[in-house]
């Protein structure tokens, strides 16, 4: 990279990817409410290929505590059922021959606390990833200054802007964690 702006653009993109990864991870956490994200990433053995459920049918939530999976090909229903059971997400699907229905049970207090703990662990991992991005970006800017491609003032401004981008990303993670914690602990 030749300029501070290129380094900053790259840094912002990586920070955004970390945040999106966290949102995706949070989507898979069970909160007592039905969410298609709970089963989105489960892979089904479909003609010898591991295929995500979302590619094999429609996933909807007709009721707040129920997920409905309607496969495009009814012959894959048993394979989807087996994949959900094997994923061990704490739910048991019921089949009527055409549609799978998953009723999401109410969470007890202890399970809620475990889920919040998992969410905090995932959030901290993404914060570490953002700090690693910051470190790499700082090194790149310092190298530009060392190679005389930018001035010392440009380097200091670049480091400040990288720090601000990192702080903003971590603040977004904290806000997302707080919202998820509130959602999980809500009875």
Per-residue pLDDT of the chain (187 residues; tens, 9 = 90+): 678 899 999 999 999 999 999 988 887 776 667 778 888 778 998 888 898 888 889 999 898 888 999 999 888 998 998 998 888 777 888 988 889 998 887 778 888 888 889 899 999 999 999 999 999 999 999 999 898 888 889 999 999 999 999 999 999 999 999 998 998 887 6
Q: How many CB atoms lie within 10 A of CB 2?
A: 10
Tell me the CATH architecture of domain 4-27+108-185: Orthogonal Bundle (1.10)
Four-way CATH pick for 37-103: 3.90.1150.10, 3.30.1360.40, 3.40.50.2300, 3.40.50.920: 3.30.1360.40
Q: What whole-number distance in Å separates Cα of residue 121 and Cα of residue 143?
A: 33
Segments making up each domain of the chain, as ranges = 4-27+108-185, 37-103
Q: In this structure, what are the phi and psi dihedrals at residue 109, rounded to the nearest 5 degrees?
A: -60, -45
The answer to whether 3 and 137 have CB atoms below 8 angstroms apart is no
Q: What whole-number distance in Å separates Cα of residue 95 and Cα of residue 117?
A: 33
Question: pTM of the prediction?
Answer: 0.70
């Amino acid at each position: 990279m030749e300029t501070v702006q290129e380094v900053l653009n790259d840094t912002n993109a990586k920070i955004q990817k970390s945040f999106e990864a966290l949102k995706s991870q949070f989507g898979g956490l069970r909160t007592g409410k039905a969410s298609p994200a709970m089963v989105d990433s489960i892979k089904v053995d479909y003609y010898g290929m591991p295929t995500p459920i979302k590619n094999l049918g429609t996933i909807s939530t007709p009721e707040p505590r129920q997920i409905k999976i309607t496969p495009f090909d009814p012959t894959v229903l048993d394979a989807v059922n087996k994949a959900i059971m094997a994923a061990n997400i704490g739910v048991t699907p019921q089949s009527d021959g055409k549609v799978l229905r998953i009723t999401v049970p109410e969470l007890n207090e202890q399970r809620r606390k475990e889920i919040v703990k998992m969410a905090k662990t995932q959030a901290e991992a993404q914060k570490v990833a953002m700090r690693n991005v910051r470190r790499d970006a700082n090194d790149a800017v310092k190298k530009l200054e060392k190679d005389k491609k930018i001035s010392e003032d440009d380097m200091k401004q670049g480091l400040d802007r990288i720090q601000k981008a990192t702080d903003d990303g971590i603040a977004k993670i904290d806000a997302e964690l707080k919202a998820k914690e509130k959602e999980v602990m809500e009875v």
